[in-house]
Amino acid sequence: MDSKIEIKVTNPKKRDTTEHQLRSGHTASQTLPSSSSLPLSDGQRRGHGNGHRHREGQQQLGWTVDFMPFKKWVPWLIPGFVLVNIFLFIITMYINNCPNTSNNCVGKFLGRFSFQPFKENPLLGPSARTLEKMGALEVNKVVKEHEAWRMISCIWLHAGVFHILANMLSLLFIGIRLEQEFGFVRIGLLYLIAGFGGSLMSSLFIQSRISVGASGALFGLLGSMLSELITNWTIYANKAPLLTLVLVIVINLAVGVLPHVDNFAHIGGFISGFLLGFVFLIRPQFGYVSEKKVPPGYIIPSRKPKHQTYQCVLWVVSLILLIVVFALGLYILFLEGVNCIREDDELDMHRQWEKRNLYTNRGKLFPTSTSMFQALYLMHDHV
């Protein structure tokens, strides 16, 4: 929600202060330095010339040389992502065609869109085999059958109604605000790269099950929000939202230690998004003025660099770390062919599922001891 920022503009001639209300995307209230503190040319002191006309234009626009409002973008990409996820879930349910394989489908009135038996999938969704056909993340297929595209396709698939509902609500809540502030190009790239990072870490550490869901990309957006606050620290007057954001991140990471939740995808997505935030979401420092936005005839009294030194350092370090981490992870996964956690290298993936009583054509998606309480936590992440 937009908030009002009070900007005090002083008229040097009349020595009075008027307040202007400006619509801005910042949540913090800022009181800016008075324009009377700026050096004035002779023409400005006499109250005529370009300086006088610009000063009047400043008061009409509601900003001073020390502040120019950031551009607000109209969000369309994130809502588009939501629609794509919903569309693919519908297609997945159509292909699943539960009545063709079971007589105990949930919601039989839905026909071929009905859900797998509740004991197989308590999230009201398709079978694991259908998700595998649609592009779920499966390490053996990624490495041995060279289906690396699954590392991206898996973030568009969901295990059930509860799963997609939780993820899409989170995506709208987090993503729309970021797209409004930074635009569709940066947020779109951040979402996809963070999702890939989550899939990469999941592939390195998880071998015994398939994985689907947008949670890695969502944690990437959360991580980018944290790094954005850090790198743009000086332009925010109110630092309280940082504590709230940290609390939300800790709670979501804590959910990952529960059974059947792929916390490696959480961590991989979060780390990727955190580093990408320093690269993609950097803002000009407070007081920087672009010559393109200065009205004709106005002489900028003092020039500040676009970014502070610490912002540039964080940008370079984060970019290097991101490249190194991704390159190392891909090397280990594809060239070495090694999983960091091995349960039994001699077993085929499907035989491992059968041994653990996970879903095959004759089994279930979850262990029989899985409670509804545990299953509901899968809404937050991968299956």
CA Rg value for the chain: 26
Determine contact, residues 229/236, Cβ cutoff 8 Å: yes
Single out the catalytic residue among 26, 54, 266, 382: 266
Q: What ranges in the chain are assigned the alpha helix state H? A: 42-46, 50-61, 77-96, 128-134, 139-143, 150-153, 161-182, 184-205, 215-231, 240-255, 263-280, 309-330, 349-355, 372-376
Structure-token pair, residue 309? 């030194």
Q: For residue 263, give the 3-state DSSP assignment.
A: helix
What does DSSP say about strands 3-11 and 16-24: parallel, antiparallel, or unpaired?
A: antiparallel
Query: Both ends of the chain: CA-CA distance in Å?
Result: 34
Candidate list 35, 215, 227, 272, residue with the active-site label: 215
Helix H or strand E encompassing 348: none
CA distance 211 to 209: 7
DSSP codes joined into one string, 105-161: -B-GGGGGGPBPPTTT-TTS---HHHHHHHT-B-HHHHHTS--TTHHHHGGG--SSH
Active-site annotation holds for 215 = yes
CB atoms within 10 A of CB 218: 31
- Cα separation, 216 vs 259, in Å, equals 17
Catalytically annotated residues: 215, 266
